Amino acid sequence: MMERRTLLGLAAGMAAMPEAFAQERFPTRGLRIVIPFAAGGSTDILARLCAQMLTEKLGQTTVAENITGAGGTIGAQRVLDAPADGYTLMAGTPGPITINPHLQPRIPYQPLRDFEPVAFVGASPAVVVVRRESPIRTIADLVAAAKAEPGKLTYASAGIGSFAHLSGELFKWRAGVDLTHVPYRGTAPAATDIIGGRIDVMFENYPSVQGNLTGGELRTIAIGATARSALLPGVPTVAEAGVPGYESTSWFGLFARAGIPPAALATLNAAINAGIAEPAMTARLAGLGIEPAGGPPAAFRDYIARKLAETGELIRTARITAE
């Protein structure tokens, strides 16, 4: 009798094995990356590169879909409405992950409770830019001019709560100066007014003004990274140039809904890491103003936790509100 039960148990276990293996295999169908911003921007381009990498590395078609609105919040919510199976990912940037949760009190999610960081694709430093003919040549010049006439110098941003806005407020805080913030509806009109001499300076994500810098219309006086960047090797950091403690770096990565199976998380992470390590992709990212990052999901989670805390402290200190 015992022998019969044992055989029945083994048979049942063997019958269940194909189903278990099917559940563990990933992916078995196509994937989707939700882009919470409009087509054509740097986030859109990077997300589509990630879709290309996942398609090539995993053998399943990965499509990218733009779902815009509310500074990225609507796209983020769409990912949370999908099953936590790893097949729906989000193209994550500071806006929906580390900025909006501090500025939008009714935001329907908490970044590290509801999302799982999957893969850290890359980062780009903030750049302090002025028009080509500006008398401001260095960070020392900028600080001296701001202290000589507090509030007279203006800095532009792509809008209240944008990366450029927070980068400018961080500079004011760390340098102990007063600059007047002028928000625009996007980086392009802000850059246009700097070029035209109507605004003095901007603290913007490098890819957003890369074209203006390459064309010679704008000039970089410093970068916001903790060390000099291979993207702009001859440009000093803001801290190196005389403002200790200043660090402002934008980033890009993929996120999934919390609860993603560990095997799926590991597979997605490995695919992106392998993709960005290829020389052709590294060169493509550099051309977009992005330094590849990579690493395990846990390290990316730690990075996001630090950025989330630092951003919250800055927003509270500078008393920034969404209005």
Q: What is the DSSP string of 91-158?
A: EE-HIIIIIHHHH-TT-S--HHHHEEEEEEEEEEEEEEEEETT-S--SHHHHHHHHHHSTTTSEEEES
pLDDT at 15 over 80: no
Across the chain, mean pLDDT equals 91
Q: Which amino acid is at 254?
A: L
The pTM assigned to this predicted structure is 0.88
Q: State pLDDT tens for residues 217-256.
A: 999 999 999 999 999 999 999 999 999 999 999 999 999 9
pLDDT bin (cut points 50, 70, 90) of residue 24 is low
Q: What is the CA radius of gyration of the chain?
A: 23
Interhelix angle 279-287/42-58, rounded to 10 degrees, is 170
**Higher pLDDT among residues 311 and 4, named by residue:** 311
